[in-house]
Structure 1
Amino acid sequence: MLARLQQAMTLGLAAWALGWAVVAWHQGHPAWMPVGALLVLGVYAAFMALEFVLVAWVHRDDPAPRASAGQLLRAWWGEVTTAPGVFCWRQPFRWDAVPDVPGRPGQRGIVFVHGFVCNRGLWTPWLRRLQAQGRPFVAVNLEPVFGSIEAYADTIDAAVRTLEQRTGRPPVLVCHSMGGLAARAWLRRFQADARVHRVITIGTPHHGTWLGRFGLMPNTRQMRLRSEWVEALAREEPPSRYARFTCFYGHCDNIVFPASTATLPGADNRHIEGTAHVHMAFHPAVWDEAMRWLDAEPQTARMASPGSNSPASSVGS
């Protein structure tokens, strides 16, 4: 469903820009032909710039480091150049370009869980690297797109079960944005702590996000800052569960802010500097953390961990 929706949006914008160019040509103004495309890009970049203005304004007394103007500008540019490839190409047209690799006995795999208005196409760069290395993975599509986060638990459980049955080992979960909440909902529903090796979340609104106040769908309402749903989720989780989590968060996250809302008490919280929400999913530190947990046993990986439980632990951009 999401792929078809994003295909329609992408093709619609392309048709609008092309129509503008045709009209300009026929009216004898060839210099105006690229203006349609520039308007689309300009509106997109301006809307995203507003998000970064809100990031700086909402930060206030958040314990995460405050981003400088230069960091916000670099993060804005990184997101402007990264997001179109995700939302206008990989997700609408190439979401199934890399099939799942269930693996073989003795390997450890990754279950990838995307966020809001995304699908498994988000992870294509990850999937290609893992495929080349012969590592197992399953990347899910969360449906319904605008449903309750609770509804995604069965999908995650099926993916975990696939890797369990093929490899005989509990997988690592790598979750972007809302996907981290879906993983927590799965853990709560199935009491599945023993079935997961590590949970890595990237820009997940563990305590909700300020932008959630504008959401009208069931899952966006659940992601409102300190919503009843996220508060209930936290109350029903054993405190020891968070020790299984690595939470990447950032002061330039233009979707999940204030920044520390993407951390959990007792987790290995890693602050990524100068990187925006979608771009963060492809930060080298996130890849390195996932590979570390794929290759190491729990005690070995924990002793080698460079992170800390403090929201001030930072990774450079």
Structure 2
Amino acid sequence: MRLARLQQATTLALVGIATAWAVHALRQGRPVAAVVGVCFVALGHSFVLGLEFVLACCVHGNDPVARATWRQMLSAWRGEVLAAPRVFCWQQPFRSRVWADHLPDGAAGRRGVVLIHGFVCNRGVWNAWMQRLTARGLPFVAVDLEPVFGSIDAYVAPIEQAVRRIEAATGRAPVVVAHSMGGLALRRWWAEQGEAGRLHHAITIGSPHAGTWLARFAFSLNGRQMRIGSGWLQTVVAREDAGQASRMTCFYGNCDNIVFPPSTSMLAGADNRHLAGVAHVDMVSRPEPWDELLRRLAD
């Protein structure tokens, strides 16, 4: 809820700034300046996203994943420009509680789902998934990971609570779907709490399994933990069961503007699936991870 309040304040502040500028410019008889100012506030994030894509291209180097074409990068940038305000200015700040966790009577014997969000996100990023799961009558729990800028180790407890709720309601091990940093939180939980029979399958989407180059600029504790080669990542790997990756499907992309180079989202021994031409947040809305979830629920 803290993140939702922070993003509410940020969104309302941006709306206020755009409105104040438009009113000021119109009173001065400068309608063009009013439009330009509003567009700058509304689309300012597109320039930041563009810089991320440029960095992703520059540091690709000899990464084994094929380099994206400029058309793929442009398409991914356009998709992320549209996805970011929808997620960060609407779903997460104002709609994160629209879909409650769904543990219906009669869930016993059905396979359930745990949804884990990523960095600077909350359960609202899964709204479309929660709506579809509810419509299908499938039990699920979507976690909120807090503190927002704390250690990833702190997220073991809410994940454990979510898994226990699914276990209690269904009597079966869940499928866990995690986006971005959520995949590392899942692995940290699995290394400590996840006995072999407690997780049916794990699906990660754009998770920095080997860290991400962009995390070198992070100031928060969880951000620093996602640096390539960080001591925290090495500790997680050392604690993991050797066969764990064989029960994971990892979606990665050659146009991921947050987790790059692309192979950092892959995990040795896992079923690694390439989402070509899709950016980081927009990956959640792709049909492939959803279809994989349905397939694993039917196992």
TM-score with structure 2 length normalisation? 0.97
Give the match's secondary structure for 2:120: coil
1:274 aligns with 2:266: no
- Structure 1 residue 31 displacement after superposition: 3.2
- Structure 1 residue 194 displacement after superposition: 1.4
Amino acid at match of 2:195: A
- Structure 1 residue 193 displacement after superposition: 2.7
Aligned length in residues: 296
1:63 aligns with 2:64: yes
Contact persistence 1:18–1:36 (CA under 8 A): no
Give the match's secondary structure for 1:34: helix
1:110 aligns with 2:113: yes
What residue is the counterpart of 2:15 in the other structure? 14
What residue is the counterpart of 1:216 in the other structure? 219
Counterparts of 1:46-125 in structure 2, within 5 Å, are 46-103=47-104, 104-125=107-128
Deviations along 1:142-165, one digit per CA (max 9) or x if unpaired, are 000000000000100000100100
1:186 aligns with 2:189: yes
- Structure 1 residue 30 displacement after superposition: 2.7
What residue is the counterpart of 1:309 in the other structure? none
- Structure 1 residue 20 displacement after superposition: 0.4
TM-score with structure 1 length normalisation? 0.92
Counterparts of 1:133-144 in structure 2, within 5 Å, are 133-144=136-147
Q: 1:111 to 1:191 in 2, by over 3 A?
A: closer
The CA distance in 2 between the partners of 1:200 and 1:193, in whole Å, is: 16
The CA distance in 2 between the partners of 1:34 and 1:192, in whole Å, is: 57
Tell me how large the CA RMSD over aligned residues is.
Answer: 0.9
Give the match's secondary structure for 2:278: coil
Give the match's secondary structure for 1:288: helix
The CA distance in 2 between the partners of 1:105 and 1:138, in whole Å, is: 15
- Structure 1 residue 18 displacement after superposition: 0.1
- Counting aligned pairs with the same residue, the percent is 53
What residue is the counterpart of 1:166 in the other structure? 169
The CA distance in 2 between the partners of 1:30 and 1:203, in whole Å, is: 42
- Structure 1 residue 220 displacement after superposition: 0.2
Deviations along 1:63-103, one digit per CA (max 9) or x if unpaired, are 11110011000000000011110000000001000001024
The CA distance in 1 between the partners of 2:194 and 2:93, in whole Å, is: 34
Contact persistence 2:191–2:241 (CA under 8 A): no
What residue is the counterpart of 1:256 in the other structure? 259
Deviations along 1:276-316, one digit per CA (max 9) or x if unpaired, are 000011111110000000111xxxxxxxxxxxxxxxxxxxx
Counterparts of 1:143-158 in structure 2, within 5 Å, are 143-158=146-161
What residue is the counterpart of 1:130 in the other structure? 133
Contact persistence 2:18–2:38 (CA under 8 A): yes
1:197 aligns with 2:200: yes
Amino acid at match of 1:223: M
Give the match's secondary structure for 2:115: strand
What residue is the counterpart of 1:312 in the other structure? none
